[in-house]
Structure 1
Amino acid sequence: MEHVVLSVGIDIGTSTTQLIISRLTIQNKASLFSIPNIVITKKEIIFQSEIIFTPLSRGCQIDDAAIAHFVGQQYRLAGVSKQSIGVGAIIITGETARKENADRVVQTLSQDAGDFVVATAGPDLEGILAAKGSGAGRVSSERKMPIINLDIGGGTTNLAALDGDRILDTACFDVGGRLIKIDPETLRISYIAPKIQQLIHQLNLKLSEGTILKSAEQLNPVIDVLVQVLENSVGIGEKNRFFDLLVTNHRFTQRDTNQIRSISFSGGVADCMSQLENLPPFAYGDIGLLLGKRLLDSKIVQYRDVAPSQETIRATVVGAGSYSITVSGSTISYTPNVLPVRNVPMIKLPIEPMNGNAPGLTDQIKSCLEIFRSQELSNVALYIVGLKSPSFNQLQHCAREIVAGTQALLDHHLPLIVITEEDIAKALGHSLFYNLPPNYPYICIDRIHANHGDYIDIGTPVSNTTVLPVSVKTLVFN
């Protein structure tokens, strides 16, 4: 039987803000007598908003009232209510994620946009969603070879290396089209991003906020550095001296990533790469067109195989609306009224495959919980991996160890959240139930793939099903 759920994607970027609504079809792919295998079988975009410039107030804050008005207006145009939205994601990206009130804006919007909408930010997740939304994963699957997608926006370039649906690596650099803003009429520079100010100072260029440009060529030294850093980011050329300065959080960590030959581009600057004719260099009030033009002549285009993108400026919002959610509904167990849960950090606890009794699991959990201790203890989710085909006694032992190890959480009456990679949540959940205090709230779900330090959101069941929407996030606000 098929079930349909509406998903919203909202992308609040350095340059632009946009929204899409997708229709996701959820289906049990297993045969009648098999364990259920719940998957999303179809993703269809049914509404795309206009693309607006991200409204800012006083330069350092996002205009949350204007954003909320925009979202409400788009819902009305789409003919949907926030109550009809089942899943989705709000992504605050690029330089906008560093604004003073970004966390408050996204949390407020997550309540206004629907009962279960992921509220998140961060370059790693943004790069992954943009790569999937651009169609890079599909290209990789069709060509049977890995690909790197460069999502070049207003404030940052988010890179994600994919091998089909599998994420190989991510990186992010402070390279984007809105790092310098110029009045198209007067050619007066109105804004220069802090790192670009450092770059200009070290290059001894006579450029500052307030400078009136004589020609676009005055910015060539800056554009040259930005392009060379992007070339370096995918393993091309001698390392530019400003490479480390322009790293946002980290470069690619896997050495083999730099050997990937297929490249794709998305983001606003990717659009600029195809909109060069008959446009003055500062038509958009920034350096996006200059950067796009120089990228067309870059070593990336010369030395790599550039694949066409299905989406460019809409790649991140498509990823947010269609690819941020997975589902867990095979063999899950939870108590009523415990859902939804949002932004819960995950502790990965590997159990040796040959030893399902997991000696020392209690001590492992206690040790990990110390990391999250602060003035007020917040909840965490235990992510159990390696417990394959356990016996009844092994499950009972594991449940006792988990309950003993999480006593600090139980003392604060925080819901016990246990996630497994293997298909054992129903049985483990029953074992937890018998070892927990009476009526104690808990969630036990399975078939989730994550890493230590990821965060998880678990929503309420999709209407008329036992399927839970789940989003694993690689980075959220501190």
Structure 2
Amino acid sequence: MQTEEILSAGIDIGTSTTQLVFSRMLLQNTGGFGKIPQIKVISKEVIYRSQVYFTPLLSREEIDGKWVDRIIKKEYRKAGMKPADLSTGAVIITGETSRKKNAEDVVEAIADVAGDFVMATAGADLESVLAGKGAGAAELSRKTEKIVANLDIGGGTTNICLFENGNVLDTACFDIGGRLVKVADGKITYVAPKIRWLSEQIGLEIAEGQNVEVKKLKVLTDAMAEILAEAVGLKDADVFIEKMKTNHAITCQKKPELITFSGGVASCFEEIGELFRYGDIGVLLAQSIRENPIFQKGNVCKAKETMRATVIGAGNYSMNISGSTIEYTEDTFPLKNIPIVKIALEQPEDIADLDEKLHRAMQIYQESRGEGRQIAIAMKGLKCPSFAQIQEIAEKLTEQYDRECEPDNVLIIVLEEDIGKALGQALHHRIKNRRKIICIDGIYCESGDFVDLGEPIVSGKVIPVIVKTLIFNG
């Protein structure tokens, strides 16, 4: 069977560290001779891992974009990689770094350096999923047929993802991490606001300028470990959970049967020696988690990756590929951070008011986001539509889109069902050359998501796609 090799980049700019990986993916047409192409990713291999850098900051509020630029250029040279060599990839700004005031500007600047590939800037949900997949938790849940929770503990946040049979059950994120208290020369130099609050609640006074007291800080990290045990569902939650969450807690009722840990703090589990060698409480927090009696009973398994879980997730697991029966206008890609507007189309009777549904959805979008911006329209689609149904869908979409959208906006349709080619050709017939179109299938997304579309690959048969639940943590 015909195979094609593509190269992918993963770049993670986290609270504590910045790193890159390059991966090789093999895609194969499994459809067979004379059949509709079925392109699948059959293997993924990390071929280069950068050194781990401390994330460069200009201040507590700003990333040093020039230093990030230098890091990326340096590692590309060391790997013998050029931006033009890459078909896909993801830049992930994670943890507290995603809240820096210039985070979005840095991502735009990185796009010019890293290459014109698909790019994701992670919110807490996406980061949780990528870290869990990069750590091997998704694969472990598939192999063991057990529910696996991965806790990715970094400098500023802990991202949690529950997997069952390789699929995501739920995600959560908490403001618990190794660099939320910083120390230097025997003094506390920084205490994050939520950690100040937590310290007060448990009867501790921890403030900048104090001398470092290991026993006092260990009481704090023990409390942080206890909150994580509650957050993952191993213990009933107390009043601290609500205050310490970044976005939301776990809401599914299923409990993890196996636990894995990844992230910089997890990489300190086996370390001994100077407690504050990284200038923070990361090693102390690792000790508290390792010694916590609830986690000791929780069937903890060693993660496949710890420090590099998120960046490997970004490089290897962020990308989906569209179905093979698609239609698009050349010279349109890549497109990045396109907001999704989803409308109901699952049954034949849904066609009748399709134009009105699109109008209502667009009104809601424009009220919150403003007019004129490029969007993508998502629909489930009919499983086996007739020729007449395809024509009617195309007619309603074309007419309404022309009414609602600017002439230079691309008509982007994202479908779940395998009808992208048929609908795309019907749209082309109506639009002629007055507007570009992209009609892809095999992709699930929801209103409020964002989508990135990369350059077509495998001789133009498929498009690399990243669906993002949240771009920046506001």
TM-score w.r.t. length of structure 1: 0.95
2:288 to 265, 290, 294: 294
Is the Cα contact below 8 Å between 1:125 and 1:475 reproduced in 2? yes
Tell whether the 8 Å contact from 1:361 to 1:405 is kept in structure 2 after alignment: no
- The answer on 1:116 being equivalent to 2:108 is no
138 and 375 in structure 1: CA distance in 2 versus 1, 3 angstrom threshold: closer
Task: Summarize the alignment of residues 251-270 of structure 1 with structure 2, pairs less than 5 Å apart.
Answer: 251-256=249-254, 259-270=255-266
Please name the residue that 1:343 is paired with: 337
Q: Structure 2 CA distance, aligned partners of 1:157 and 1:9?
A: 20
Letter in 2 for 1:459: G
Residues 3-55 of structure 1 show CA distances to partners (whole Å, capped at 9, x for unaligned) of 11111100000010000000111111111122211111111111100001101
Q: Is the 8 A contact 1:160 1:169 kept in 2?
A: yes
Aligned to 1:459: 454
Matched position secondary structure for 2:179: coil
Q: 1:288 is matched by which residue type in structure 2?
A: G
8 Å CA contact 1:26–1:40 kept in 2: the answer is yes
* 1:197 matched residue in structure 2: 196
1:128, 1:375 → 2: CA distance?
A: 30
- In 2, distance between residues paired with 1:144 and 1:266? 21
Q: Name segments (4+ residues, structure 1) moved above 6 Å.
A: none
| Cross-structure match for 2:402 | 407
Q: Is the 8 A contact 2:218 2:288 kept in 1?
A: no
Aligned mate of 1:238, from 236, 248, 266: 236
> What's 2:322 paired with?
328
CA–CA separation in structure 1 for the residues paired with 2:77 and 2:23:
15
3-state SS of 1:8 partner: strand
CA deviation digits over 1:275-318, x for unaligned, max 9?
1x2x1221211111111111112244233221221100100000
1:4 aligned partner: 5
Label 1:145 to 1:237 Cα distance change in 2 as closer, same or farther (>3 A): closer
Q: CA deviation at 1:386?
A: 4.2
SS at 2:46's partner residue? strand
Instruction: Give how far 1:439 is off.
Output: 3.6
- Paired residue for 1:423? 418
Q: Kindly indicate whether residue 362 of structure 2 is the aligned counterpart of residue 361 of structure 1.
A: no
One of 392, 404, 427 as aligned partner of 1:397 = 392
Instruction: Quote the offset at 1:237 in angstroms.
Output: 2.5
- Please say which of residues 285-294 and 160-169 is displaced more in the overlay: 160-169
**Conserved in 2, the CA contact under 8 Å of 1:410 and 1:416?**
no
1:211-266 deviations in Å (ceiling 9; x for gaps): 112x311113321321121011111223232211110000112222xx22111111
Alpha-carbon spacing, 1:98–1:265, altered in 2? closer, same or farther (3 Å): same
User: Hey, what's the Cα distance between the residues in 2 that align with 1:405 and 1:387?
Assistant: 19
Q: 1:351 offset after TM fit, Å?
A: 2.1
Alignment partner of 1:381 is 2:376: yes
Distance 1:348-1:73 versus aligned 2 partners, 3 A rule: same
Counterpart-to-counterpart distance in 2, 1:357 and 1:99:
44
Q: Is the 8 A contact 2:372 2:406 kept in 1?
A: no
Q: How does 1:14-163 map to 2 (within 5 A)?
A: 14-163=15-164
Give 3-state SS (helix, strand or coil) of 1:69's partner.
helix
Cα contact 1:356–1:387 (8 A) shared by 2? no
Residues 211 and 412 (structure 1), Cα distance of their counterparts in 2 relative to 1, 3 Å cut: farther
Q: Aligned residue pairs: how many?
A: 470
Give the TM-score, by structure 2 length. Answer: 0.95
Q: Percent identity?
A: 41
SS in 1 for 2:205: coil
Task: Identify the range of structure 1 (199-208 vs 443-452) with the bigger mean alpha-carbon deviation.
Answer: 199-208
Match of 2:228, SS? helix
1:411 shift after superposition? 3.5
Give, in whole Å, the separation in 2 of the partners of 1:43 and 1:101: 33
Deviation at 1:463, TM superposition (A): 6.6
Structure 1 residues 375 and 302: CA distance shift in structure 2, 3 A: closer
SS of residue in 1 equivalent to 2:190: strand
Q: What CA distance in whole angstroms lies between the structure 2 residues aligned with 1:296 and 1:284?
A: 19
Per-residue Cα deviation, 1:367-409 (whole angstroms, up to 9, x for no partner): 1111221444212111111411100111111112212332344
For residue 303 of structure 1, the aligned residue among 279, 283, 297 is 297
Q: Which amino acid aligns with 1:238?
A: D
Q: Which residue of 1 aligns with 2:363?
A: 370
Offset, 1:154: 0.6
CA displacement, residues 163-193 of structure 1 (integer Å, 9 cap, x when unaligned)? 233211110000111100111xx22111111
Shift of 1:451: 2.7
Q: Gaps spanning 5+ residues in structure 2: where? A: none
1:319 to 2:320 alignment = no
| Cα drift, residue 204 of structure 1 | 4.4
Structure 1: 5+ residue runs without aligned partners? none
| Aligned-pair CA distance for 1:145 | 2.0
CA deviations 1:305-354 (Å, max 9, x no partner) are 2122110010000000111111125111011222211111112223243x
CA contact (8 A) 2:409 2:435 kept: no
Distance in 1 (CA, whole Å) between partners of 2:446 and 2:460 is 28
Aligned to 1:172: 173
Q: Which amino acid aligns with 1:233?
A: A
For 1:270 and 1:206, locate their aligned partners in 2 and report how far apart those are by CA, in whole Å. 27
Distance 1:32 1:451 in 2: 35
Which SS does the other structure have where 1:342 is aligned? Answer: strand
